Structure 1
Amino acid sequence: MEALLNEWLMREEFWLPPGVRWKDIEMTEDEGRFPLPRDLIYTLPLAFAFIALRYVFERLIAVPLSRYLGVKDRVQIRAASIPKLETFYKQNSRQPSQGEVMSLSKQCGLSQRKIQTWFRQRRNQDRPSNTKKFCEASWRFVFYLVAFAAGLGSLINAPWFWDHRECWRGYPKQPVAEAHHWYYILEMGFYLSLLLCVSVDVKRKDFKEQVIHHIATIFLIGFSYCANFVRVGTLVMLLHDSSDFLLESAKMLHYAGWWRTCDSLFVVFALVFLVTRLVVFPGRVLYSTLLVSQEFFKPFWGYVFFNTLLLVLQALHIFWAYLILRMVYKFVFMGKVRRVHICTKNFEVEDEEEEPEEEGDECSWEQRKGAINSKLASLANNCVLNNLTNQRNINSRLPKAR
């Protein structure tokens, strides 16, 4: 097996520039650490450790913090226990067609309107609570903030942080510092944990884009580490972390009902996101990997694959930038930020909005009918009382007039 991997997977033309051999990049312990594929084995147990740590964090820190900040969950009406409808809901569809509604109506002996009402209440019952969404956002906020601070501290004195040509000088024989090694391992372990939990986390409208983003990020981190594109990779991770913790903090404040602070943080996040993802990333990182790198070596298979992943990432940046700019437009020109918040309708949107009861629903109509009748009765009583009072006043004035 090892011979097969060395023959096919670890072929020099895949991983190294033309004319470079594996023996040319061997390093001694004094020269520093050279990234090896076996180092990434630690990311899988680290991902499970992140999941366990998240479980403890959400229950011991995030939930009490949500109560302290005033996060409130909506009171939802639970659907009645109807086994046939429950089975259809779980095994067939959450939104039955008109023909399926008619068939279920005959099987259960209920009207079609009651069947539709049951499914609506059942879907609303599965909506995640604000507390759950707050806990998820707070966990990501803590990691992104710590990762950004640690990454910035480890890169601020690195030569390639200021001069992008240093990313390629001496490539591929570039030693990796211990701090940058663990920066890579922790980031990849965290994104792997997000991918493992994506099916149980709050599902959003950009679910497919999120999955593609996680997979592309994991492949990008893993491949760049194996091919020793670590210097560029650290810059990419730092750029992403710089805006991600702002987004997660804005979500937290939204769920807590701190609207003005949430709006202010969203504006800051939008500016940082647009500058880092649409200006710095293509202007510095992509320019360096596509053009500047060719001054130091000729293109090879690993170089092409690495740039393809970066371009996929940039396509996702453009997609999310479109959503952000659309929200900024509504915020600035239409004044709809209260109704179209970042955290609820566009960029970080849940599966569906909670569905209100239709006007034709029997239970809600009875409630509205009772409320209308009480208002009409109150209005009628007021009118009668006013007429009687006016009549007394007129009668009391008649003797004086006579």
Structure 2
Amino acid sequence: MESTEKKRGRVAVVVLGDIGRSPRMQYHALSLAEQENLLVDIVANGGSDPHVSIREHHSIRIYQMNPPSVPTLAAVKLSSWLRRSKFIIDWHNFGYTLLGLSHGRNHIIVKTYHWFESYFGRMADGSLCVTKAMQHELAENWEIKATVLYDQPPEFFHPTSMKEKHELFCRLKNDICPPNGAFDCIHTRNEKSFRFEASNELDHPSDSLFTSQVGNDIFLKPNRPALVVSSTSWTPDEDFSILLQAALMYDRRVSGVLGEDDSITEEKLWLDICKGEQLYPRLLFIITGKGPEKAKYEQQIKKLKLRRVAFRTMWLSAEDYPLLLGSADLGVSLHTSSSGLDLPMKVVDMFGCGLPVCAASYSCIKELVKVEKNGLLFSSPSELADEFMMLFKGFPDKCESLKSLKDGALAKSSSSKWSTEWETHAMPLISEIIS
């Protein structure tokens, strides 16, 4: 008996990079599969696992490749011509500007890449881009008409419940608690010389550094450190030294405010913490991501003599990363964009989880971050340190500026999601092209 079911269409999502580190392309694949009911083939570099919703989706298949990005653009155009299919480019950034970070904008290789991108970009049947600034650049200088599709978080980026926070911090206990350096304000000392009861922050096996559970009740510890999260690709377009310098400034300024000097003992610091004497809290920075400059900065971190600041670097699963963002007190973005025309996806994710942000300032960042509503901008380590001092004074209960930004980020998290943005802006373009 012949089936009356309409034959499903098929689409290839080609990623010039690691699919696990390309959230926007993952979300495109989900929307094409679920909102357009298409069979989706993802062609991408291997490396990191995408979200479980991609890996286990019955309409999505992943195929790995490893060629350079330049021939890929030409290969996709050729393939679409041979198969009589349509070719759409989603412009996240410009490849030639990324190449220019290492070679300089005037290098012959960079100029050739620029020509290649613009030539094959004009061959596309349609284009999407991430900002109005990029839309203007494509129209004025590349003769490409693009539709702006702002990044939005998918539904699995949302504020984290207290139960989810506690379970996450218990899972990460082995990554967070071991010391990182000679004097680490997060590490729990158990040596005989520091055996004073109040210092043991993990009083019970069910405790985490930030939470405690008594029966069915879970609560945040009043003397917990403030948790600051940043994700980075550890590449030159994100100057991680800015965050290190700001953290060092915060550490020194807090010591100055409290009248401390280098002679303060670890025992005295722990006693002050456990008695709740925290005009300014300890800061724990959790830095997620992979990249070429990670080892260099990890060595720099270990050499810093920090007393009220600690760093941890880690790689989280695609499922745990949103939970960490929703459990943090502040997010930091160091992204400045090689072109100055794209926006940091990490900030979008942070807002999706209700997390306020301090973001590096550059030309189009205000398309995303609304200053003093859901975040703040900085242009130097000193400005970022100033923001830490202002936002965390009186933490956790008397920091009104931080709470105000948190309210703004929570409002942003509930206002728009990827599926809505995609249906409004991408779906009409796709439907027009394939009709």
Q: Which has the larger radius of gyration?
A: 1
> Higher relative CO (CA 8 A, sep ≥ 6), structure 1 or 2?
1
Report the TM-score, using the length of structure 2 for normalisation. Answer: 0.25
Judging by fraction of residues, say which structure has more helix: 1
Report the TM-score, using the length of structure 1 for normalisation. Answer: 0.26
Judging by fraction of residues, say which structure has more strand: 2
